[in-house]
Structures are given as structure tokens and as C-alpha cells.
Structure 1
Amino acid sequence: MQRERRAPEMAGLRLRLMAGAAALALCALGLPAMAQEAPPAPPQPGPDGLIDGAAYIDADAVTREGDVVSALGTLDRRALGRFSGTTLRARQFNYDLGLGVASADGNVELTDDEGNTVYASYLETDSDLRAGIAVDFATRFSTGASLMAATAVRRSENVNQLNYAIFTPCPICDADGNPQEPSISIQAETVVQDEELRAVLYRNAVFRVGGVPVFYLPYFAHPDPTIDRASGFLVPTPSYDEGRGLSLEVPYLHVVSPSEDWLISPQLNTRVAPFLNLQWRRRFADGTVVVRGGGTYERSFGDFDLDGDGDAESNVNFGDRTARSYLLAQGRFDPAGPWRWGFTAERTSDKTLFDRYDISDPYQDNGLYYGDQRRLISQIYLEHQTPRSYVSVAAFTLQSLRVAQFDPVTPALNVFETDGSLPVVAPLIEARWEPEGPVFGGRLRLKGSAVSLYREDYVGGPVLRPEIIPAGSTLGLPGIDSRRVTGQLEWRRTLISPIGVRWEPFVDLRTDLYSVSDLPPMMGVEEEAISRTRATAGVDISYPLIRQMGPGADLILEPMAQLSISNSVDLDPRVPIEDSQAVELDESSLFRIDRFPGYDLYEGGIRFTAGAKATLRWDNGRQASLFVGRSFRDAQEDAYLVPLPDDPANLYDPSGLGAETSDWVVQGSFSPSDRIRGWGHTTIDSAGEIRRAEAALDGRWGRRNLASVSYIIDRSNPLEGPNNRNYEFVQLTGQQFVYGNWGVAVTGIADLERDIITRSEVGMLFDDDCFRFELGWRRDNTRVRPTGPSEGVYVRLNLATFGGTGY
């Protein structure tokens, strides 16, 4: 009953406070309230529902003397005030409506509009409602970090000083709200938060782990937790390599402006000269540029057979000192309108520079076209896109870091793929256009493509067809240059019968024009023009069926088929196979008109493809699916055969499409719970042998325990030999917590083809969601690493707020 009697009084007080604030605003403008010819627009309320200058008070007792409002709470219920986007709770407080300042006493809690909260036993604020003087001060940032002090004083507009303070980025309460010792904390005699420097400065700082002091610094600083980034040293990265010795990379971030920064990261080594890494980032109004680079002046190092006895000496310096460097740059600009453009520039002076100096993430997917693993791409491109059209123009070159022939003694003497064996692409044009409405009831698409390829070095199969590969030595032969222009028309319409059968008739018309030069001398021609045309008509048929299997469960069966009829394929042996070498048969590609990527290889004749997919769904998102399919053609296609690398006289079919019956495609996935998921894909030839397969399984148990295992195999080359590129790998990663936040982590990659472990790690870890620490043993035994197998202790540390480090 007492609160019911006070409620009208508080409502009236709230109205009087708002009216008083409005009168003060009019006086500040120097205008009489009645002098307006037209009434002013009503003030708009803020996110808290209050207009500017208004205040909301909810307390056991409220009084007002002039502009000062006093609020009093009780032992069980604190007084609450909300003004200028700030919320104040305390046993009692005073708020000056004119000055906008407040003083509060008793279990004080002040929260600003960004979610940062200040706690104190006594608090005085300034005109911005920021803590000016506080006793028993504590603040919790929106990032989760906490800062506590015996006293806090706002020295100036930009400087706050805390005395006898503790800072921690970790939770100070457990999941049940009980106090706990933070995992990491910094205790200091004085802490100064300088908002102009955007830094927190410590004097006589003691670092504690689990409450135990482990390190002392007379002075220490780190960025303010409320800012995104600031200049300063980042967490250093220690590492060890047989060739470099002990290494320490010390990165320094220099923030030039909100849109620009530099990262200077020297790598200091005990056995070789230092290596300097640099990165520059700049964001423009319509784009971004990132430039990475690095260099040193040093000799090669690694396992070399210096005396020719067939055994490699361990990690010696070899050759003359010279400049060694790399450049990784990319930019993308997307101005208003349909046009956008970009570039990448990627080059390195040494084929193994990234491996020798452990450069982080050198192979990234930037730009319109990607260089795959161990190939760098430099490109410039332009795109134009509208709702019904797309055009791209690009030019690029490649640098290969791939091994062409592995040395049997030491990987430091591997023979690498030459850059001259890769084409220069200038230009590459892709275009497509669709009319606004349907054509003959279906979708019409016009496509065009053009490319010019220039290759410096001679390359045989699979670029050249077996019948034109010269016999004997090819030393000194030039690389074949080619140019292609393609026009294509696609039409497809979808029809659904009354019983639910889905019919999709389609028509595909395509014409290719080639100009090929620098053909092998045995051809008797220097340059040749080649044209070919293909017309295809067909239909896709599918019949989805669904059946309820019980409460919350259903089974979907979808048989599907495709019949396509084309004129006979015209695969002229003089056309190089540049863009159709890698074929991946799966559920989606099996029903394409052209299952070869690119344009150089394509299919013709009569083809029939059939498959079926079954999907079982139950219990809100859990599911399992299986697809099986195969394709048939009217005649065997020998043009898809390529020479074996170790026996060019023998041919094999890496695509699985050359015979009258293609490989079987089997693909499935399952997720019986939200903690387990897996998938698999394989192609099986007519003899029942697996040609390619890939599978993965992920599992989680408990709150943070997890494991992942994956397997991949390629058996497409039927003949053993030194150039056989068949492979078989299995990879395992996992972590298991044993006691509290302590656990073990393992990672391993096994090369089953060579029966060795190529990479392995096993270590102990501590992870409490505030920082993660790993200590363990690591071994690297890849065939490319020039310093041979490397093993040793690794350390990883990731800290909330402060960043992380690697090995």
C-alpha cells in the first residue's frame, strides 16, 4: 500500500523534471517560450524512452531543491536513476539537472550506453556522467575485462588514475556467480587510463597466473580494452628449426589512422641472418589494399649432400649470400555501380623461402582467380555485373613452388616445376546474359568466353594429346601458344506433371574457335586455326517422394535421370588441354552437360545418366543421406586417355568418363546429433576398385572435448613409378580435458603411401576461456621442407585482450 500511495507522487515528479528540463533548454537558447509563431517539433525520445534533458527516478523517497534531485533507497532496494543514456543505482544519490553531475553512496552501480559498468562504494561523476572520484572502484568493460582499484580519480578530461589496482581480462565469477581467482591478472601500484593515448599504463606491475605472482615490470602498458586496435608490440612468436635454430618473431603494430596501419615483424634467428616481415593495410572509401613482404640477406641452408656420398649433411649453409624476399599483395575496389576491380601480386625469390622461414599463410585465396596450394598468382581483373548480365576481364601469371621430382637423398635438392611451364594468361574474358522474361516458357542464357595463353617452355602430356607428343628428346622445343573464342546458348525449362514428376528439357549450342601456334615440328605446321561446333538436346527427370516414418521423422527418395544427345565429339589433337585436366565426379557434376571443367575437353554422342538419393530426417534437424549414380555413353571415348608419367607409351583415363560406363559415384552424409557429423565421397571403377575417395568425421563430447578425423586417397594412376602422383593420407586432430581446465591435444597427418608420419603434435593444454596455453612436442617430416625432418618443443599461448602466439 505504501508504494501505491507514492506512485502518483513519483509520476508527478517525473513530469515536473521533464518540464523543468524543457524550460532550461528554452532559456539557454535565449528565446521566450511564447514568441514562436509555429509550435516547435516535439522532441524525439532516445533508446531509453526519455527525451534529451529528461530524467527518470525510481526510489523509496525523492526530494528536489532547485536543480538538485535527491533519491533514497532501502537496504533491500536501491534507488534508480536514468539520465542521458546512463543508468545509476545506489543506496542514495544526488543528481544536478543543470550541471548534469551526480554523487552516489552505498553499493553504487553506473552503466553507460555502451554497456560498460562501474561499481563503487562512493562515486562522484563529472558533467558527462563519467566517474570522477570513486572509492572501492571496479569496472566491467563490454569486452568482459575487469578493472578494480582502492580509489579512482579522473585527473583530466582524458586521464583516469587508479591506485592499488588489478586488471584482468578473465571472468572473476564462476558460472554460478560465486567469486573466483582470475586465471591471469596484473596488479599495480598505479594504473593510468589515458583515453587520448588509448592506452592503460601501469607502474610497479606484477603479473599473476592463478593468483601466483610470476613476473614483475616497473612499467608496463597495453591498449585500452574498449578500442579495436592501437599501436604497440604484439605477443612474440618463438619457434625452432634445424636450419634457422632458435627464432623469435617480435611483431609491432603501428596504427597510422582508423583506416591504415603497418605491421613490422622481424624474425631473429640464432643460426642465420634475421628476416624482416612487413605488412601495410589501407582501407579506402570503396576498397582495401593489403601488401605483405619480407626479406633477408643470407645463403641457402638445409640438408645438402656436399661430398656426393649419397648422405646429406645436416643443415649447412650453402652458396653465396644474396637478397631473398617475397611479396604478397592484394587489393579490391567496389565503387558504386556495376563495376568493380582488383589485383593480386604474389612472388618470391626462392622456391622454398616460405618453408625455410615459416612465413604464415602465404597461400591465400584473393582476387578473381586463385593460385592453388604452392602456386602464386599475380593478376589484375575487372568485373561488371547487373541482375541479368556479367562480364569479367582478367590477366594473370603464375609462379610455381611445386616439386616436379623429389630427390631421393634430401628434400633440399628437389627439382621444382619451372615457371616457364605455366602459361601467361592475357586476357581471359567471361560473359553471360539472360533476357528479362522467359523464352518459350524457359530460361535462356547466352555465354561467351575468350582466352589467350602463352607458354615459354615445352610441356607434353596431358597438355598435348598423345598422338602429337614428339618421340625422343624435346629439349629446346618452344611452349605451345593458343587462343580460344567460345560462344554458347543454353535453354532450359521446368515442367511438373500432375503426379509430381519433374521434367527439365534443355538445349545447348556451342561453337569454339582456336588458333594454335608453336606446334611440335613433326606436325609440319607453325600455326593452325581450328573450329568445332556441338549441339545438344536432352531432358532431366526426377521424382521426389516423401513418406512419414513416424512422429518427427520422414524419408525422402529421389530417383533422377538424364538423357542427352549430341553430335559426335570433335576433339582435335592439336588443341592443348589447358583448363580440363582436373575432373571431380560427384553428385552435382555427374548430371552436367559437360562434366569436364573449362572448355578444351567436352562430351558428345548419346549419354544416359541415372542416380538416386535417399534422405532420412528425424528429431529436429538430424539426418542421413546417400547418393549413388553412374553414367553411360554409346561408345568409348579414347580422346580422354593421357600418357602415364613414367611410361608415355601407355595410356590411362584419369577422368573415369572414357569408357562406355563411367565410374560409380557414391556420396553420403550424416549428422545423428548436434555433436556428430560426417560425410564421404568416392568414385569406383567398373572393376570395383576405388579410384578416389574422401571422408571426414567430426565429434564433440562434454563442453570442450572434440576430435576430427579425415581420409583421402587417389588411385587414378594404375602404374607405379617415381612420377606416380597417387596419394593416401589420414589426418587426426583432437583435444580431451582430463581434469578441470587441463587436458591433452593431438594432431597427426600420416602419409600411408610412403608409410610415414608427415606431421605430428602431442601436448598438454590449459584452457579456461580466458587464455589457452599449450606445451608439447612437434615433428615435421614433409617432402618439401629443405631442412629435412624437424622436431622439438612447441609453445602456443592465446590471451584474451592481449592476443596470441604460435610455436
Structure 2
Amino acid sequence: MVLGVRRMARFAAATALASSLAYILVAAGTASAQTPPAKQDRMVVDARELVYDNDKKTVAAVGDVQILYQGRTIEADRVVYDQAGKRVVATGNARITEANGTVITGDRFNLTDDFRDGFIDSLRVVNPDKTRFSAPRAERTDGETFVFEKGIYTACEPCKDNPERPPLWQVRSARIIHKKAEQTIYYEDARIEFLGVPMAYIPYMSGPDSTVKRKSGFLAPKFLNTGPLGYGVGLPYFLNLAPNYDVTVTPTYLTRQGLLGQAEWRHRLVNGSYSIRGSGIFQQEPEAFLASPLGPRDKDFRGSIETNGRFFINPRWTFGWSAAMSTDRWFYKNYRIRNESISSTTYLQESISTAYLNGQSSTAWFDMRGYYFQPLTSSDWQKQQPVVLPVLDYNKRLHKPSFLGGELSFNVNITNLSRDAAAFSELPKQQTYLITTPSYSLYDGCAVYQKSTCLVRGLAGNVARATAEVSWRRNFIDPLGQVWTPYASLRADIFSINPNTTKYFNANVATIADTSDEVFGRAMPAIGLMYRYPFVAKTSWGTHIIEPVAQIVARPNETNSLRIANEDAQSLVFDANNLFEWSSKFSGYDRVEGGSRANVGALYTGRFGKDAFANLLLGQSYQLGGRNSFSAGDLVNTGLNSGLDTDTSDIVARAQISPAKGFFLTGATRLNQTTYEMQRIDAAATYSNSVISTSVGYGRYEPQPELGIVRRREGLSLNGSVLVAQNWRLRAGVLFDLDKYKLDRENFRTAYASFLTNGGVAPAYPNTGPFQTASTSFGINYTDECTVFDVSYSQSYADRQSGATKDSRTVMFRLELRTLGEISYSQNLDSSSVGDGVSSSSTR
């Protein structure tokens, strides 16, 4: 007997008919036939038609069926419940949406009455993180285990235009088993396919499912290959000990040096986190490296330890650290050890360890920290590196104090440092300064200190300074729109210098500092006034603001400039950015600007249309009275050759122009005040949109012989990337050392003259040309929602400070498959080159 009921409107389980269906559907799995379903098991049913078959004991919901039950939503063209078999069969566009957002679709669902177990034909599963499974047939058991027969897994989205086309990559497996209770997916007889083409076969593998953030197991392997190390492979194992701490152990086998062990501990606490990393190896072939002091050949065991941490004491105060130590300066480079504390440039590489305490509020800032420096190049000497402990900075600003108005600020700095050996270098001469001849002298050619020919980079012994400054300034705007800003400050410094005059080979070091007067002080009051008068004009093509600016600051003469150990103010670049600096144009606290000075300039700002703008500044500085601090060099000659060492300074200018959206032009220069020759040039042009990104940079800096820089430095950089196809981007960059051409010519002339004088044969003229590349790089990158693929090539100057004699050329490869892991590899194409303490006979 068949009973048909036609309903064209939606109805809920609260109605009698839907309640009957709900009761029938859940009775077998939740209660006896006479027991009504529990309140939490009620379901909402929506269908066009219900069909009862009393003979077969079935009830069917037909037409746009939608059932809401226990957080799940079941949709299909037809859902039939077999009361005798306690099965639910859904056919026609069948679809289940789980409570967590997982969507399961198939041609036919055959499930138990509680929807926990069953079979699904032509299964497709889309998880909330957009990962996907598919299989011709799948079975779910125990409500938590899915078995996909001939299953396919991918994290790539299907092609919108052609959904049947294979995704970029997928894992095709004889069986895929997803155990939700274990949060693990197992793959049996798996192969990884790219665009449907098999590329790798893996008999068995497993990995966490999309709900897992942390799970013990093997991570992606790491590969390396260098001459002194041989071929190496590392297999990291991640051990999830608890939700807030874990350990990663990475044994790496190297064919020449043996087993490199690495371990990392990470621990997250309520108010912060920290990590500790350690590496070590007992080398099998130490002879692959240079002998001391140019290499680590004398060391059988080499290793390092690094640690980082940061903790929040409360919302305003934090403390933390970043520290790294190694058995030798070459270890990080030789074994490709990650070290976040390394600060690196072409000719300066060091590991910086620091610990700090920091506090901030809306008006105040406090920072106290210490530093330890470990040099990582052959030419540096640990005894010349300072230990800085502590450095304390405090700044407090009061806005509109009741008795003055304006802004009142307080600054405090305390610095204490010590080193074992003095660091000083000889002022080089043009004809002998050849970068092609590396030097490993501890004193860089200044083996005996001479005050007239040597620059003191740092004193041996202990140096301490305490600085306190209070300053005030306030803006007044008169009825004409003129802006007047008076300024006043008072600064006091106390120095304590206790030089070491007895150690490390140099008796004349005692002449660097006067040991009879170890403690001295200075005070520097200042008053000043700044005047600005903006003129605004509006035209049909833009808005223009022209603003003349004049500033005058009166101070007494600077004292004790030749007695201090200038540790933090050795860098001085005079440009438009510090033209109107109130306190001092020196970069640190050890030096302070003295005498009376006027700074004048004109500022232009223009806006044109919606996106275009221009900003220009032109100015100059004048020494009005007193002694010019920038003409009195200290132990390192800071201030000389700066453009401020004459009564009338060089002219500085700055420009920022954007003629269109995404297009920026920037430039800055310093011009000689009499000849108008450019002493410094910094210029850049950038353009970027969704397809192309490009930049051009140019820098040129004239010689500063009194600072030890005897030749002009000039360089040109070109960088760009272009989207060549969807998701594909090409990039390239080159840095030209334009000055190397001039240096090669000078070296050739010197060598040529020497050969002719000695009756020798003239050498061949070097074929260099004006565009010598300091570095080049190019690469290709593919990025979409599931894949990152990157291949790059880079070449850079030989790092002669670390012993390298040839340029380095490196190829890098990286492949990241979302949810599966990442594989990366780099190869130095010049493995036979000498560098980083490596012996020239280290390769085979």
C-alpha cells in the first residue's frame, strides 16, 4: 500500500506529518518505537512530497529535500528511510553539510539511520580549508573513519572554466584513510601528480588533517651540497609534547663530515614564549677547512646555540632576549645554520646577542638592554668587539604643561661598554688601497698607533657616559598665518673613561686617551627659534603650498670633543632630513653640536588631481658664531668632510614626486657650497601595478679622505618583476658597481708604472668596462591557492673579508604544496672557490 501526500509549502518537524518522519528516522538509533525522540534529536524536514509505503515499511521525502539534524544538513532529490533495514538512502544531487562546514556530495548515499556509517558512490568532500577528497566509492565507519577507495586528494581548487581538468597537483592513492579521532590521513600506494602526470611515488605516507595545528611526525626533508660538507640530507622530526611546547630534532647526514645534530625546543607560556636551538658535529674531515686564524681546521667539534624569548610582564612592560654563540665564526655559513641574530652586509657580518627590558605608555618610553657581538669574518678580532652593558634610554613627553604650554620632553641615556683591545685603522692612501688584496691585520695596516695617521674606532678598557636632557618648544600662529616656534633645552653629560694601556701589542695606545683625567663632564644649554610662513595657492591644475623656513639655535662651544671616545656618533650624513634638527645633527649622544647656527630653506608641496603630488625641500646651514663642532674632528674624525665643516654648509635638497598612481620619483643630494658639485646623490624611481613592478636606484658619494674613504663610491641598481601569465611572475635584479671600473683603471696604471720602472713587461689591460656587476639575480615564481614554486639564481661579489677569492653563484629551488609540506634546496655553483674558512683543496 502506498500513501501519497502532496505538499507545495515548507513544513517543520513541529507539524504532525514531519514529526512522524522525524520519529521514524531517528527511532531505530535513539529510542524504542514507543519512545518519542529526545528534544535534541528532533529534526527539521523540508520537501515537496512525502510518500509512505506501509507494505515495505518505508517513508520517502521527494523533491528538493532538506533535512536538518544534529548540526548536519542533508540535501537530495529523494531521501528514503527503510525502517526494517534501519538505512537511509539519498539519491539525486545528494549533499551533506557537516557542522564544521565540510561538504560531502555524491551520486548515492546509503547510510545508517543516525547518518554515522554507510557507503557513498562518486564521493566528493570539500573541507572548510578548501582541501578536497574524491573517490568512486567511499565507506564511513564508526562515524569517524572515511575509507576512500582509489581516492584522490588535493588542496587546489578546480578550474572554473573546466572543472574536469586535473588540478595543478593531486595525490592519487589506492586507499586514503581519514581517521577523525586520530586527526590523521593515511595514504597507501600513493603517487603525486602534476597536471595529471605522475611525478613521485610514495608507498606509504600519513599526515594531519585540516583540523590539526600541531601533530608529531616527520617534516619535509632538507638537502644541501657544498664542497667541504659533501652531499647532505636532513629529516626533521616534530614532537608535539603538549599544546604549548614541542621539540624538533633534525639529524643531517653529510657524506664528508658525518652526522650533524640539531634540536629546537619551543615553549609558550601564559605571558610569552621562548625557544632554544642547538647544533653540533664531530667533523670527520677538518682538513676541508683552512687552518687558524683563517679557518677552523684545528676544531674537531663545532657547534652553536641560539635562543630567543619575549615575555609580557603587563600590558606596558616586556622583557626578552635574542642570543647566539658558536664555536667559531665560520660555523653558521659552513653548515647553513639559521641564525636570526646575524646582521650581515657584504663586508660586515656579525652575530648580535641582546637582552632587553622595555616599557611604553602614551607619553613615555623606556628601554634597557645589553649587547654582545661575535664577528663572523676572518679579518675581525673578538678582542676588539665591545661588550655593551647596559644601554638605557628613557623619554617622557608632556603636552601642554600648565605653566609653559607647548611640549616638554625629558631624555635620558646611559651607556657603558668595554673591550679588551683598541680598534683603530690607518688612514689609507689612494695608490695603495687595493680591494683586490685582502688583509688580515688586526689593526688594518696601523700596527702602531699614530695620532696623525690613525682613526680610533674604539678604546680598549671601559667607557661610560650618562646623559640627561630637558627640552621645550611651542608653536605660535599670528594673525597673518606666520608660525613661530621657540625652543629651549639643557643637556648634561658625565663621562668615565678608563682605557686599557697595557695589553695587546701596542705601547703607543696610551696616547689615545689621557689616563690622568678619567671622569669629566660637559653641559650644553640651547635656545632657538623657528619661523615658517606657508603661502597657499589654488589653480585649475592643483593646490600649491610654498613655505619658507628659517631656524636659529644658539649654544656655547662644544667641550672635550677630543677627549671623548666616540662610540655611538661615528656616522654623520648631512642631508635635508636633519637640516632643521633641533638638538644635534650628530647621530648619537657622544658628540653634541655647539656654537650658534642658522638653518634656512624653502619647502614646496603640491597636489594635482586625485593621485599626483610633489614635495621639494632646498636648504643650507650657516655657522654664525662660536666653534664649529663639525670642523673639529674627534678620535675618528666625525664631522670632517661632512658638508657642515665650513661656516657655510653645503646645499642640501630633497624631492618626492608622484606624477601618477603607483609611480614614484625620489631624490636627495648635497652640493658643494662654492662649486655646486654634487657630493652625494641618492635617487630612485619605482613603478608598480598588478602586472609589473620595477625600480631603479642610483647612489654616488664623493671621497671623504679624512674619514678613511679615499675613493668615490658609485652604484646603480635595477630591479623588476612582471606577471607573464596567470600566477606566473618573472623577476630580475642587478647591482652595478660603477666605481670598480675606476679602481681597476687606477690599479692598472699603478701596476703598469711599476712594471716599466723595473724593466718588466706591461700587463694586459683589464677588460672590465664601466658596468661591473656587484650582484645579479633572476628567478621565476608560481603562486596560487595551493602551490608555491620558486627557482632563482644569484651572483654576488667575492666576500674578500671572509677569505673568498671568487664571486659566489647560487641556484635556489623551493616547492611548497599546501597542507603537504615544503621542499627547498640551494646549490653553490662555485663549490671550488675559497671562502668562509674553506680550504681550496676541500672539493673532490
Q: TM-score, normalised by structure 1?
A: 0.78
2:189 is matched with which residue? 204
Distance 1:53 1:132 in 2: 20
Shift in alpha-carbon separation, 1:331–1:63, aligned structure 2, 3 A:
farther
Displacement after TM superposition at 1:208 (Å): 0.8
- The alignment partner of 1:653 has SS state of coil
CA contact under 8 A between 2:593 and 2:629: conserved in structure 1? no
Q: 1:782 aligns with which of 785, 798, 802?
A: 798
1:416 is matched with which residue? 379
1:322 is matched with which residue? 300
Distance 1:696 1:15 in 2: 76
Q: Indicate whether 1:796 and 2:814 are aligned.
A: yes
CA contact under 8 A between 2:116 and 2:143: conserved in structure 1? no
Aligned length: 729
Structure 2 unaligned segments of length 5 or more: list them. 1-6, 31-38, 428-445, 502-508, 742-771, 827-844
Q: Match of 2:529, as an amino acid?
A: V
Shift in alpha-carbon separation, 1:234–1:644, aligned structure 2, 3 A:
same
2:474 is matched with which residue? 493
1:32 is matched with which residue? none
2:563 is matched with which residue? 574
Within 5 Å, which residues of 2 pair with 1:59-208? 59-61=47-49, 72-73=62-63, 78-81=64-67, 86-93=72-79, 104-112=90-98, 114-123=100-109, 133-156=119-142, 158-174=144-160, 176=161, 178-208=163-193
Shift in alpha-carbon separation, 1:305–1:350, aligned structure 2, 3 A:
closer
The C-alpha deviation readout for 1:584-640, integer Å capped at 9, x for no partner, is 445543322222222111112222223344344455445443333333222562555
Q: 1:342 aligns with which of 320, 336, 350?
A: 320
Q: 2:236 aligns with which of 219, 239, 251?
A: 251
Q: Judge which range, 756-765 or 439-448, deviates more.
A: 756-765
Distance 1:127 1:491 in 2: 80
CA contact under 8 A between 1:389 and 1:431: conserved in structure 2? yes
2:740 is matched with which residue? 754
Shift in alpha-carbon separation, 1:589–1:624, aligned structure 2, 3 A:
same
Q: Judge which range, 279-288 or 138-147, deviates more.
A: 138-147
The C-alpha deviation readout for 1:377-414, integer Å capped at 9, x for no partner, is 22322233344433333233222235xxxxxxxxxxxx
CA contact under 8 A between 1:652 and 1:718: conserved in structure 2? no
2:496 is matched with which residue? 515
Distance 2:343 2:779 in 1: 31
Q: Match of 1:224, as an amino acid?
A: D
1:661 is matched with which residue? 648
Question: What is the root-mean-square deviation in Å for CA atoms of aligned residues?
Answer: 4.5
Displacement after TM superposition at 1:207 (Å): 1.4
CA contact under 8 A between 2:426 and 2:454: conserved in structure 1? no
CA contact under 8 A between 2:10 and 2:46: conserved in structure 1? no
The C-alpha deviation readout for 1:451-473, integer Å capped at 9, x for no partner, is 2222211134799xx9x965799
The C-alpha deviation readout for 1:440-494, integer Å capped at 9, x for no partner, is 122222222222222211134799xx9x96579999x971422222221121223
2:413 is matched with which residue? 449
Shift in alpha-carbon separation, 1:719–1:566, aligned structure 2, 3 A:
closer
Q: Judge which range, 235-244 or 159-168, deviates more.
A: 235-244
- The alignment partner of 1:135 has SS state of strand
Q: Match of 2:207, as an amino acid?
A: H
2:552 is matched with which residue? 563
Displacement after TM superposition at 1:190 (Å): 0.6
Q: Indicate whether 1:605 and 2:595 are aligned.
A: yes
- The alignment partner of 1:182 has SS state of coil
- The alignment partner of 2:298 has SS state of strand
Shift in alpha-carbon separation, 1:786–1:354, aligned structure 2, 3 A:
farther
Distance 2:327 2:793 in 1: 32
The C-alpha deviation readout for 1:280-326, integer Å capped at 9, x for no partner, is 222111011122332323366779699xxxxxxxxx99733422222
- The alignment partner of 1:801 has SS state of coil
The C-alpha deviation readout for 1:559-600, integer Å capped at 9, x for no partner, is 433222222222432111111112344554332222222211
Please tell me whether Structure 1 or Structure 2 has the larger radius of gyration of its CA atoms.
Answer: 2
Shift in alpha-carbon separation, 1:182–1:455, aligned structure 2, 3 A:
same
CA contact under 8 A between 1:152 and 1:162: conserved in structure 2? yes
Q: Indicate whether 1:773 and 2:789 are aligned.
A: yes
Q: Match of 1:190, as an amino acid?
A: R
- The alignment partner of 2:332 has SS state of helix
Within 5 Å, which residues of 2 pair with 1:224-243? 224-243=209-228
Q: Match of 1:417, as an amino acid?
A: D
Distance 2:605 2:455 in 1: 54
Shift in alpha-carbon separation, 1:325–1:89, aligned structure 2, 3 A:
same
2:749 is matched with which residue? none
1:411 is matched with which residue? none
Distance 1:624 1:253 in 2: 54
Q: Match of 2:386, as an amino acid?
A: P
- The alignment partner of 2:383 has SS state of helix
CA contact under 8 A between 1:665 and 1:681: conserved in structure 2? yes
Q: Judge which range, 533-542 or 750-759, deviates more.
A: 750-759
Shift in alpha-carbon separation, 1:70–1:731, aligned structure 2, 3 A:
farther
- The alignment partner of 1:603 has SS state of coil
Displacement after TM superposition at 1:62 (Å): 6.9
- The alignment partner of 1:634 has SS state of strand
Q: Match of 2:588, as an amino acid?
A: G
Displacement after TM superposition at 1:333 (Å): 0.6
Distance 2:671 2:195 in 1: 56
Distance 2:237 2:677 in 1: 55
Q: Match of 1:579, as an amino acid?
A: D
1:385 is matched with which residue? 360
Q: Match of 1:91, as an amino acid?
A: D
Distance 1:143 1:719 in 2: 62
Q: Match of 1:346, as an amino acid?
A: A
Shift in alpha-carbon separation, 1:506–1:269, aligned structure 2, 3 A:
same
Distance 1:327 1:120 in 2: 54
- The alignment partner of 2:411 has SS state of strand
2:767 is matched with which residue? none
Distance 2:737 2:178 in 1: 54
Q: Indicate whether 1:429 and 2:392 are aligned.
A: yes
Displacement after TM superposition at 1:360 (Å): 3.7
Aligned-pair identity (%): 25
2:615 is matched with which residue? 625
Shift in alpha-carbon separation, 1:580–1:675, aligned structure 2, 3 A:
same
2:750 is matched with which residue? none
Structure 1 unaligned segments of length 5 or more: list them. 29-50, 307-315, 403-414
The C-alpha deviation readout for 1:89-146, integer Å capped at 9, x for no partner, is 33244899xxxx9864321333345543322223467899778643222122333322
Distance 1:695 1:102 in 2: 73
Displacement after TM superposition at 1:724 (Å): 5.5
CA contact under 8 A between 1:516 and 1:574: conserved in structure 2? no
CA contact under 8 A between 1:623 and 1:672: conserved in structure 2? yes
Displacement after TM superposition at 1:698 (Å): 4.0
Shift in alpha-carbon separation, 1:116–1:621, aligned structure 2, 3 A:
farther
Distance 1:378 1:329 in 2: 9
- The alignment partner of 1:754 has SS state of helix
Distance 1:730 1:92 in 2: 71
The C-alpha deviation readout for 1:78-97, integer Å capped at 9, x for no partner, is 4445566554433244899x
Displacement after TM superposition at 1:330 (Å): 1.4
Q: Match of 1:576, as an amino acid?
A: A
Displacement after TM superposition at 1:657 (Å): 2.9
1:43 is matched with which residue? none
Within 5 Å, which residues of 2 pair with 1:621-700? 621-634=611-624, 637=628, 642=633, 653=640, 655-686=642-673, 687-700=675-688
